[in-house]
Structure 1
Amino acid sequence: MQAPHLSRVLVVGASAAGLTTAEALRRKGHTGPITVLGDEPHAPYDRPPLSKQVLSGAWEPERAALRTREALSELEAEFVLGDPAVALDTATRTVRTRSGRELTADTVVIATGVHARALPGQSELAGVHTLRTLDHALALRADLLAAQRLVVVGEGVLGSEIASTARTLGLDVTLAGPLAAPMALQVGPLVSGVLACLHTERGVRLRLGDGVIGLTGHRGRVTGVRLATDEVLPADVVAVSIGAVPATQWLEGSGLDLDNGVVCDSRCRAAEGIYAVGDVARWHHEGLGRLIRLENRTNATEQAMAVAGAVLGDERPYTPVPYFWTDQYDAKLQVHGFVPSDAEAEIVEGDLTARRFVVRYQSAGRVTGVLGWNMPKQTRLRRQEIVDTIAAPTPTPTR
């Protein structure tokens, strides 16, 4: 049997999770061959800046690159880019690509991320965009620079960021979605209400609380967004941000358990010699006692480091405290932990009206999350309360 540090490793996915897996393997002493397979032609780049710095034009696209060419070369890994994986043979750990290439390894790490959801008929109309890749961001920016009216469909994190960026570019922006306020699902009614005020003050028109049922167009170009009320919101450009689905289509028929991601054990192992990492991984979190899947930049890198350790024989349960952030206008929101729908929100530091505060969320008497609005240090210190909750056993319900 091949020694772990000499084994062949194939990482399927060349974004943050995939690249970090390769880098962590090298740091931990792996000297065997590493291949990183990516579906895009670009070298690994960072996704969070796409909806902000790249979309606004503050950054040239090259600045989003995760590493320089020299750093990638020093990694001594083979990068196979622009050739998506289409099938996996779990018995031989062989991945087949769209071009017909076959790559076999001792260990396969799946890091294929997610695909953006689309509206019905979206592909038939020019001027309608999703934002997941660098090319998506550049295409949306080009359309925004030639437009006046943007409708953003989806009031979550990404949709709110796109709306914020577009307003800084001077567009007439409408944010539409079924929930009552921006990011209501992610931060609860208290903070989402403050976000609604912030967007309104900056000139974003909020059309929230009604679902979107489709698009309108003329001569092949989008002209508006139709709500469930049958009202049409006029638009020159539409950005669709209604969630994402794990990129697991290529794994159908592989024998892996696919259910809202690649289902894994607490070590992020999907099968013998096969692991999943990042947005595509749904693993058993021992601290929470259930399967979870996280779509955020921090998890992509932390989970990748854990998987690299597991590949080399250092298997430990992966039990992170989830964390994400978002920048909108002059507001930086940082969220540690979870915000359940039934969570009680309490201001524990700062002032809501001054828009500098920390919120603690509790559910069933347990701290589940903390959120900071322009208070990064104080928020980070409060994170320990969530660590303590995850480490403590879940109380047994009494009859």
Structure 2
Amino acid sequence: MVNKKKDTTVIVGGGHAAGTLLTALLQKKYQHEVVLVSDEPHPPYQRPPLSKSYLAGEVDQSSLYLKPRSVYENAGQQLRLGVRVEGIDRYAKSIKLSDQSTLKYDRLVLATGSHVRRLKAPGSDLKGIHYLHDIADTDALRNQLVPGKRLVIVGGGYIGLEVAASAIKKGVNVTVLEAAERLMQRVTGPEMSTFFYAKHTAAGVDVRLGTAVTGFEAGDKGRVAGVTLADGGNVPADIVLVSIGVIPETTLAENAGLLCDDGIVVDEFTRTDDRDILAIGDCTRHRNLFFEKMQRLESVANAVDQARTAAATLMGEEMPYDSAPWFWSNQYDVRLQMVGLSQNHDQRVLRGTTNDKGFAVFYLLEGSVIAVDAVNLPIAFMVGKQLVQQRKSVSADALSNTDIELKSLI
């Protein structure tokens, strides 16, 4: 009897999406060969702690790994680490690697993630200017965060504010420069922005809103010494972190002729326009069944859920991705949990007050709950998930009345 050759599934990437897909395939007892290729030297790992507990030195590197490398290899999955994919030949069904080797595939999954948006300004190549996206970035930044140093953070989004919270606790002098009128303006409402502004300023962070950066000043030995502002001012700096967002990593897909539009375009089963190539995570733009429009999400939840859908697709199962998106951020003693997308709301309802230990903001559109932001109030997040998923219509009075149990609104 001749054994039929196993198909080979190649996964490109080393983040949460790639790691979750490996695990899901193990759980489903996927019978084909699986090879993961990542240009980083680490097995798949989680990135959220990079700006929080790992930066603060509270956890070690191995705790970031979704699973030890041995778990994958003992199960027969191959990890090709520290090697970069340089091209995809869709006709030969092979990928070219940076070590000059090629790897054949029957199914290919792109979990290429994103790369940081760089600030193009005079002096941007000076030493001491950091970006934060991987373990090496955090290691380099952490080594410089010593008491008394002056850290300037360009950008007041999740990452910038999480780093600010970690750095100020280390005794570092921190200034946050945000070009918009409020913190986290792209992802949350004014109430949350005001709350976090107060939280950071109370901790000693110098937060400056409506402040655009035009360049960086050089000091001794080619190191950054200051940040120049659009209004002509200057902020002295020993260290700078630029945190102004990310860009989906689509170069491989574009060069291979796959459909891309601010992300690799996939359907609800994570399939690209090539039936043998899937894509998952931050690099994708998809039509989640929960929303009518195409969208790209930068979140662990999206990466995990798309990975599980991709595993089902590879197994020949039908499991469309239609989860309500959710996010979180830890800053000081605050855990912010968010579900849904609030951008198009026409009404905001505050439950509790921003002086309470826990409070929440509900975002409504035509009477239906489309998003919830909860601060130290996990019940609001959990109930909010169901309200958003159901597109439940709830009165503003009921949402704001703390005498009414949130569970009763489901």
Band of TM-score, shorter chain? over 0.9
Residues 291-312 of structure 1: per-residue CA shift (max 9 Å, x gap): 1111111211111011110111
The correspondence for 2:342, drawn from 339, 344, 356, is: 339
Query: Paired residue for 2:97?
Result: 97
- Shift of residue 280, structure 1, vs aligned partner: 0.5
* Matched ranges for 1:320-331 at <5 A: 320-331=323-334
Range 239-248 or range 114-123, more displaced: 114-123
Counterpart CA distance in 1 for 2:124 and 2:110 is: 28
Match of 1:273 among 257, 273, 276: 276
**Equivalent position of 1:12 in the other structure:** 12
Counterpart CA distance in 1 for 2:204 and 2:299 is 28
Contact 1:15-1:44 within 8 A present in 2 as well? yes
The 1:365–1:212 alpha-carbon spacing in structure 2 relative to 1, beyond 3 Å, is: farther
Give how far 1:129 is off.
0.5
Q: Distance in 1 between matches of 2:306 and 2:350?
A: 31
C-alpha separation in 2, matches of 1:119 and 1:358: 34
Give the corresponding residue for 2:314: 311
Aligned counterpart for 2:231 among listed residues 211, 229, 232: 229
**Aligned letter for 2:276?**
G
1:223–1:309 CA distance, 2 compared to 1 (3 A): same
Structure-2 change in CA distance of 1:66 and 1:167 (3 Å):
same
Could you give the per-residue CA deviations for residues 267-286 of structure 1, whole angstroms, max 9, x where no partner exists?
A: 11112111110111111122
Please, which moves more after superposition, 368-377 or 116-125?
116-125
SS of 1:56 mapped into structure 2: coil
Name the structure 1 match of 2:356: 354
How many angstroms apart in 1 are the aligned matches of 2:290 and 2:54? 37
Aligned residues: CA RMSD: 1.9
Which moved further from structure 2: 275-284 or 222-231? 222-231
List alignment gaps of at least 5 residues for structure 2: 394-410
Count of matched residue positions in the alignment of Structure 1 and Structure 2: 386
User: Which residue in the other structure is 1:45 paired with?
Assistant: 45
Structure 1: unaligned runs, 5 residues or longer: 392-399
Work out whether residues 155 and 178 of structure 2, in 8 Å CA contact, stay in contact via their aligned partners in 1: yes
- Corresponding position of 1:58: 58
Identity rate of aligned residues, in percent? 34
Amino acid aligned to 2:90: T
- In the alignment, what sits opposite 1:200? 201
Q: Take 1:190 and 1:145, find their aligned partners in 2: how far apart are those partners?
A: 33
Instruction: Report the equivalent of 2:407.
Output: none
The residue type paired with residue 30 of structure 1 is Y
Q: Letter of the aligned partner of 2:202 in structure 1? A: E
For residue 256 of structure 2, what is the aligned residue in structure 1?
A: 254
Q: In the aligned structure 1, how far is the partner of 2:103 from the partner of 2:123?
A: 35
Aligned match of 1:88:
88
Q: Which runs of 4+ in 1 moved over 6 A?
A: none
Is the aligned partner of 1:389 residue 2:391?
yes
Q: In the alignment, is the contact (CA less than 8 A) between 1:125 and 1:220 conserved in 2?
A: yes
Selected match of 2:372 from 361, 370, 373? 370
Aligned equivalents of 1:330, 1:289: Cα separation in 2: 36
Q: What corresponds to 2:34 in structure 1?
A: 34
TM-score w.r.t. the length of structure 2 is: 0.90
Task: Work out the CA distance in 2 between the residues paired with 1:55 and 1:113.
Answer: 21
Query: Matched residue of 2:218: which SS?
Result: strand
Deviation at 1:181, TM superposition (A): 2.4
Matched-pair contact (CA < 8 Å) for 2:290–2:324:
no
SS at match of 1:184: coil
SS in 2 for 1:124: coil
Quick one: which of 285, 290, 301 aligns to 2:288?
Answer: 285
- How far apart, CA to CA, are the structure 1 residues paired with 2:7 and 2:161? 44
Deviation at 1:122, TM superposition (A): 6.1
**Which amino acid letter does the alignment assign opposite residue 199 of structure 1?**
H
In the TM superposition, what is the alpha-carbon distance from 1:316 to its structure 2 partner? 3.1
2:169 & 2:57 partners in 1: Cα distance? 11
The TM-score normalised by the length of structure 1 is 0.92
Aligned match of 1:395: none
For residue 350 of structure 2, what is the amino acid of its counterpart? Answer: I
Residues 388/342 of structure 1: CA separation in 2 closer, same or farther (3 Å cut): closer
In 1, the alpha carbon distance for the partners of 2:30 and 2:177 equals: 48
Partner in structure 2 of residue 110 of structure 1: 110
Aligned partners of 1:190 and 1:345 also within 8 Å: no
How far does the alpha carbon of each residue in 1:67-98 deviate from its partner, in whole angstroms, 9 at most, with x for none?
A: 12432333321100111111112233321122
Task: Give, in whole Å, the separation in 2 of the partners of 1:123 and 1:249.
Answer: 24
Q: Find the aligned partners of 1:29 and 1:234 in 2 and give their Cα distance.
A: 56
Q: Which 10-residue stretch deviates more, 359-368 or 52-61?
A: 359-368
Structure 1 residues 170 and 147 mapped into 2: Cα distance closer, same or farther (>3 Å)? closer
Q: Distance in 2 between matches of 1:315 and 1:335?
A: 28
Counterpart code for 1:132: H
CA distance in 2: counterparts of 1:265 and 1:65, whole angstroms: 29
- For residues 347-385 of structure 1, give each alpha carbon's deviation from its aligned partner in whole angstroms, at most 9, with x where no partner exists: 23x332114112111134332101110011232122111
Matched residue, 2:157: 156
Alpha-carbon contact 2:270-2:278 (below 8 Å) kept: yes
- For residues 341 and 216 of structure 1, do their structure 2 counterparts lie closer, same or farther at Cα, with a shift above 3 Å needed? farther
| Alpha-carbon contact 1:345-1:360 (below 8 Å) kept | yes
Cα offsets for 1:311-369 (capped at 9, x unmatched): 11113321111011000000000001111055432123x33211411211113433210
Q: 1:146 to 1:90 in 2, by over 3 A?
A: farther
